[in-house]
Amino acid sequence: MSTPIFKAAVILSAVLLAGCEGGIGELEGFNVTRSAPERIELPDGLVVSGTRGWCVDTRTTRVAGETSVVVLGSCAAIARNAFAPRPDVPGVVTVSVESEGGDVPPVDVLQNFLFSAPGRAALARDGSAQSVQILESRRDNDLLLVHVEDRSIRPVTGAASDYWRALFDFEGRFVTVSLTGMSASPIGAPEGFETLVAQVDRIRASNTR
């Protein structure tokens, strides 16, 4: 496995582990004066901002080391404020950013890797290629989008078995954006991809110099 692809596999695994550490809290004991952060600046200066209704969950976000993992959830749930904005789809968004200076694989190489057994293993929460099926993949210039069915462990109670992921290079950083919905309120494929693209556009716009 080449070095860029190996690093990509490690980062994908780190995202899955972060997603298993905990979920966004339920809306209990809400307080109309509370708010949640809508953006966070990483140590290397990159800003991760959520689209409307998505806020940073500081309890599960990790910004130390070579790879930062930012967890976004409903602003209303994180702030426990019933009047705070909510996203159009219920779920959790995870943004992973490798520190600047990494060797990012080309999109076609990355796509071929994800369809291989090692790539599917990197996408699986239990590390087994047999647990994962790539339902759909899309390419938009330098952006790779995949819709994945993962039949292994769920990241949080009530999470859906499928998730969406966007992978792209931003100024020498390997960035992934993942969306996991809830089994009680399934997200349609069009809405899943639209949510990912909107979040990618938001990250790019927040860092336009």
**Confidence band of 208 (pLDDT split at 50, 70, 90):** confident
Q: Which residue has the higher pLDDT, 209 or 143?
A: 143
Convert the pLDDT of each residue in 170-193 to its tens digit.
988 999 999 999 999 999 999 999
Under a CB-based contact definition with an 8 Å cutoff, are residues 55 and 36 in contact? yes
Convert the pLDDT of each residue in 13-29 to its tens digit.
445 444 444 444 444 44
User: Rounded to whole angstroms, how far apart are CA atoms 87 and 15?
Assistant: 21
User: Rounded to whole angstroms, how far apart are CA atoms 71 and 58?
Assistant: 8
Under a CB-based contact definition with an 8 Å cutoff, are residues 46 and 204 in contact? no
CATH number (3.40.720, 3.40.462, 3.40.1000, 1.20.1300) of 3-22+34-206 reads 3.40.1000
CA 92 to chain centre: 8
The residue length of the chain stands at 209
User: Rounded to whole angstroms, how far apart are CA atoms 100 and 122?
Assistant: 22
Handedness of CA 23, 24, 29, 34 (dihedral sign): positive
Under a CB-based contact definition with an 8 Å cutoff, are residues 79 and 36 in contact? yes
Q: Which two tokens stand for residue 193?
A: 């991809």
User: Rounded to whole angstroms, how far apart are CA atoms 69 and 14?
Assistant: 8
Convert the pLDDT of each residue in 80-123 to its tens digit.
998 899 999 999 999 999 976 667 889 999 999 999 999 999 99
